[in-house]
Structure 1
């Protein structure tokens, strides 16, 4: 990973070529106030940049086809100024800052929110009135400061020991590592990335973080000054990192900063040759499916909203079948799902 850092011009050139495959540069938040009939989403920051690009490209495809009446697609980031107006004619609301507040708006404000970006699967506590629509494949690893004290690899068991505070010094991981206190961090409570990480280090049973763990950093934003520390480690979406690092998807604070993602159980999380999530790593328990969540009644409806949702997110929809969306997935670091798995519902 550190050798790659020395090739910024090549990375920039590749990023530019991939961005050129899409309909244009995406914006963070809609450039206009969406109309009441448009399809509007909020939720996880992991896929926010991807959905910004989807919005740009899907709407451009409608315009290119001379379609002036179909609902447009818009997505609001989980970070940014607040309050925001989600649709014309609705009052300003506090910006939904992730999955919990995104789902709250989906359930309570149906006139304003049509879908929620999800970087976790269904939980037993999720209502059956929600439909999860499969989107793409991601993986989760851990990240640490380049040149810091953390090793290139940790095992799942070691990560569990670190986040339960059983091991609090790097020398306890390996005597050859510095005698320095480990500083584990987690994203905010309710983050899909956090929930997945804690469940995976627990072998399927969520781990309760120990007192040595600091909670509250924004997921996948390595520019946070507290993370610029030789002893810090934090969970990170591998797909989001690939998009940031290789394909120029870093914007403002949404960048890896000094962090690089590492290996788990001896398997590299990134394929530095293909510049993608490492497929063998994604095939382990650290791989995860990303979803879009909609109201079940909307998904089944034959009205304009239901038709638009299926046209965008369904098995034969634009996201799952268009070449432009496939290029968007690649340039944001995520892997496509097997044929006819994208757009399936649960």
Structure 2
């Protein structure tokens, strides 16, 4: 067995501005992966970063190559969590009558039947566990997830896959509170404040002492918004409130409204009086991608000569200073433990398997690299891509540990 090391966080000297992404659109198509391609599913908040790692991007002044752009025979394929490139759920055509939510499918490997598309880290982990081992199934190679497997999932993996699940963190994002740019909220909202707001103990800005000018908007009712059930960013937010509440999960107050995650319009589309009192947890990485013009308005019919206007983060702001709420959003990839030590080379002419090539080489130590090849996520090209979309590149092996 290969020697294993838990690596340390990697920093990058040359930071690439997220602003260069305005014309940087990696492929969002659903290909039909071959038997030797590496296939990932899972979290929507993490999918854009893995798309960029696979396909890279370019703009008028230069480019950053991804793994697939180097002409490698076998590819890194990362399926989007939903059928929509903006990370939203798919719906039936309004022209056909009542709009209804669909259950989209994907073809995980060429020549196989479509299966339900795993939407979210938890769904991806369950799909991997149900996928069988490399000789009996094995359509899914890895899962994108903001949470490590649970102990129950590890037990199920042992029974189903006859191996544990192995987790590696390749980047870190931050979650802050977003408000409208013109807001009645104070400049500071601590985690303790949010425990009281989201549990319904505090309902007006007058209940929040810090940062509120006496007599100014103190009677305004707070509008606490929360990402929808099943969203990894909801789990991260509620876990942070649980920790600040002495380890006891909060019971959500009646004013809490569930909304589409990572979408500025959940605030900006509200009536003026409501918008000024709304708050919602929001990831920094998605905020910066919106600010860079990565996402475009899907309403107009496609026209290459007259591209749809870019969506933006205009109208919202993140509360990032001082003692404001902040939570880590770890970017994990999870795969079969048995794949770490596989002796099957992935690319022609290489001695490395696909895990060692892309995500985790047990012999590589960034502090003492020597002549060991780093996995792509820890290479100069991989780190530059992650930095450019507002993430902190990391290279941390969590082995088969569990969440919580």
If the TM-score is normalised by the length of the shorter chain, which range does it land in?
0.7 to 0.9
Q: Which residues in structure 2 correspond to 1:61-210 (within 5 Å)?
A: 61=70, 63=71, 67-68=72-73, 71-79=74-82, 80=84, 81=90, 82-109=104-131, 110-127=137-154, 129-173=164-208, 174=212, 175=214, 176-203=216-243, 205=247, 206-210=249-253
The change in CA–CA distance for 1:167 and 1:227 in structure 2 (over 3 A counts) is farther
Change (3 A) 1:252 1:100: farther
Q: 2:268–2:316: 8 Å Cα contact kept in structure 1?
A: no
CA contact (8 A) 1:86 1:113 kept: yes
Q: 2-side partners of 1:58 and 1:184: how far apart?
A: 41
> Structure 2 vs 1, CA of residues 91 and 304 (structure 1 numbering), >3 Å: closer, same or farther?
farther
Match of 2:58 in 1: none
Select which of 218, 233, 237 maps to 2:260: 218
Shift of 1:289: 2.9
Q: Which runs of no fewer than 5 residues in structure 1 stay unpaired?
A: 1-12, 270-280
Partner SS, residue 80 of structure 2: coil
Please report the RMSD computed on the Cα atoms of aligned residues, expressed in angstroms: 2.9
Separation in structure 2 between the aligned mates of residue 249 and residue 121 of structure 1, nearest angstrom: 28
Provide the residue aligned with 2:355 in structure 1: 309
CA offset at residue 331 of structure 1? 1.5
Offset at residue 248 of structure 1 (A): 3.6
Q: Specify the alignment match of 1:250 in structure 2.
A: 295
Taking structure 2 as the reference length, the TM-score comes to: 0.67
**Alignment pair present for 1:33 and 2:32:** yes
| Alignment partner of 1:331 out of 373, 377, 388 | 388
Shift of 1:59: 0.7
Q: CA deviation at 1:90?
A: 1.9
Spell out, residue by residue over 1:297-330, the C-alpha distance to the aligned partner (whole angstroms, 9 max, x if none): 2333223569112210014444333222111111
Per the alignment, residue 274 of structure 1 pairs with none
Q: Distance in 2 between matches of 1:91 and 1:224?
A: 36
SS at match of 2:116: coil
- Secondary structure of the corresponding residue to residue 203 of structure 2: coil
Alpha carbons 2:42, 2:119 under 8 Å: kept: yes
SS at match of 2:105: coil
Deviations 1:51-91 (A, max 9, x none): 11111111112x0xxx43xx310112222252222221221
Comparing 174-183 with 291-300, which one deviates more in the overlay? 174-183
Equivalent in the alignment of 2:46: 47
1:134·1:289 contact (CA, 8 Å) conserved in 2? Answer: yes
- Give the Å deviation of 1:40: 1.1
**Cα distance in structure 1, aligned partners of 2:18 and 2:389:** 10
The more displaced of 93-102 and 201-210 is: 201-210
Any unmatched runs of 5+ in structure 2? 1-15, 56-65, 85-89, 91-103, 132-136, 156-163, 299-310, 347-351, 365-373
* CA contact 2:40–2:140 (8 Å) conserved in 1: yes
SS at match of 1:199: helix
* Bigger share in helix: 1
- Give the length in aligned residue pairs: 303
Structure with max Cα Rg: 2
Q: Distance in 2 between matches of 1:104 and 1:73?
A: 21
State TM-score, norm by structure 1.
Answer: 0.77
**C-alpha distance in 2 between matches for 1:193 and 1:255:** 20
- Counterpart of 2:45 in 1: which secondary structure? coil
Q: Distance in 1 between matches of 2:17 and 2:342?
A: 42
